[in-house]
Structure 1
Amino acid sequence: MLITRRQFVTAAAALSAMLALPFGRDFALVGDALAQQAVSPADLAQAGPLGDVVVGKDDAPVTIIEYASMTCSHCANFHNTTYPEMKKKYIDTGKVKYILREFPLDPLAAAGFMLARCAGNDKYHAMVEMLFSKQKEWVVQNPIPPLLALAQQAGFTKDSFESCLKDQKVLEAIESVRTHGAEKLGVNSTPTFFINGKLFRGTLTIDELDKQLEPLLKS
């Protein structure tokens, strides 16, 4: 589903009327978390027009790429529970390099990612984590007021908030990441993870991550 500029400008003015997918309908295949398939390394390595925002050491032996939607409840659960443990245990210790890529399932999810991109690379993940932690506050019928309030906590003004949500280049860059993930990598649900190139659909617990990462770190 292409998120067009016309749709999104309308959404920025009255986003609640534009939500094509209700909160919670994120198509995550939780029970299929260990499903795996091979993907092209070249396709997987291809970042979007805005580049990847990497967390961790460039020479880490394991790379985890997550495709997520900001309105996805399972994505929020991963970031609120598993991600802090993963960061402490694997990223901060130099064992894992982590990349989050945008896969918005609706205009509101695109708005969240746009704000994260507009915040700048140094604040990108902080903005993403804040929006995931406060997801229930802004993924609501009238999302603009709470989303603006959260953005202001991150340093946005009302003008910069509105300007960001009208930025066609940022929207198209995010859309291109989603399109590439769907067409080249088989991403069709969120969250979807690639651990050293292997695909895993659905949310992952820290125990499930341990099982996948330990053999890779020993090899």
Structure 2
Amino acid sequence: MPAPPVGEAKAKDAFAALVAKPVSLPDMVLGSAKAPVTITEYSSMSCPHCAAFGQNVFPMLRSKYIDTGKVRFVFREFPLDIKAAAASMLARCIADGDAEKYFGTVQLLFQQQEQLMAQTRNTLILIGKQAGMSEQAVETCEKDQTLLDKLAADQRFALDVVKVDSTPTFFVNGERLKGAMSFEELEAKVKSLLKR
């Protein structure tokens, strides 16, 4: 296959750099900073396909590629509704910058997705309590306008600049892949990049 024209390659690199840069909120990342492949997922806590990926595909991806240093995984919030935004805010408050805590909370939120949609406040309080937060601390987190503004700014950037318009959307080394991905599809993409 011939190499893409220089202009096209430069544009692709510039786009990959845009995707790679956190906007308002610090990125939640697992894996080595030196990993040859970076997967960035835009996800909503209210999206069933995102929950399915989080519960079925992500654990395999993590054990085979993230924990072995081959893939760096970046999780970005793209809340499709106010319930998803509230869940994202809680995950951020619980984690307090700790990626492991953050990913653990996201997994819990995905497992409780039906309850989260049906009884949002009670589910958030329950998950907060499991993480050692008081009901008051959960309420305070949910009223944090600065956090909500940053979440909204990041979402606007994703929508306007990197053209995310649905969840899940993945970027694998800057290449956009929309929709639900099976482990096999994602692995094929990762393997092709690891061969380069």
Tell me the TM-score normalized by structure 1: 0.80
| Equivalent residue runs for 1:53-132 within 5 Å | 53-119=28-94, 120-122=96-98, 123-132=101-110
Distance 2:40 2:112 in 1: 23
Distance 2:82 2:132 in 1: 22
1:12 aligned residue: none
Residues paired across the two proteins, number = 181
Following superposition, the deviation at residue 96 of structure 1 comes to 0.1
Q: Identity over the aligned pairs, expressed in percent?
A: 41
> Of 90, 102, 120, which residue of structure 2 is paired with 1:143?
120
Distance 2:89 2:15 in 1: 28
2:25 aligned residue: 50
Contact 1:48 1:174 in 2 (8 A): no
For the aligned residue pairs, the C-alpha RMSD in angstroms reads 1.1
Following superposition, the deviation at residue 90 of structure 1 comes to 0.4
> Of 133, 136, 147, which residue of structure 2 is paired with 1:156?
133
Paired letter, 1:97: R
1:134 aligned residue: 112
Q: Deviations over 1:141-187 (max 9, x none)?
A: x3211221122111211110000000011101111111110000110
Following superposition, the deviation at residue 48 of structure 1 comes to 2.5
Contact 1:115 1:161 in 2 (8 A): yes
Describe the SS at the equivalent of 1:101: strand
Between Structure 1 and Structure 2, the one with more helix by share is 2
Contact 2:30 2:72 in 1 (8 A): yes
Distance 2:165 2:183 in 1: 23
Contact 2:171 2:177 in 1 (8 A): yes
2:6 aligned residue: none
Paired letter, 1:146: T
- Residue 198 of structure 1 pairs with residue 160 of structure 2: no
Specify which structure has the bigger relative contact order, considering alpha-carbon pairs within 8 angstroms and separated by 6 or more residues: 1
Can you give the 5+ residue segments of structure 2 that lack an aligned partner in the other structure?
1-11
- Residue 179 of structure 1 pairs with residue 163 of structure 2: no
1:29 aligned residue: none
Contact 2:124 2:138 in 1 (8 A): no
Contact 1:82 1:206 in 2 (8 A): yes
Paired letter, 2:66: I
> Which is further off, 39-48 or 82-91?
39-48
Distance 2:128 2:182 in 1: 29
Q: Deviations over 1:42-100 (max 9, x none)?
A: 32122022211110000000000000001000000000000000000100110000000
Paired letter, 1:67: Y
Paired letter, 1:135: Q
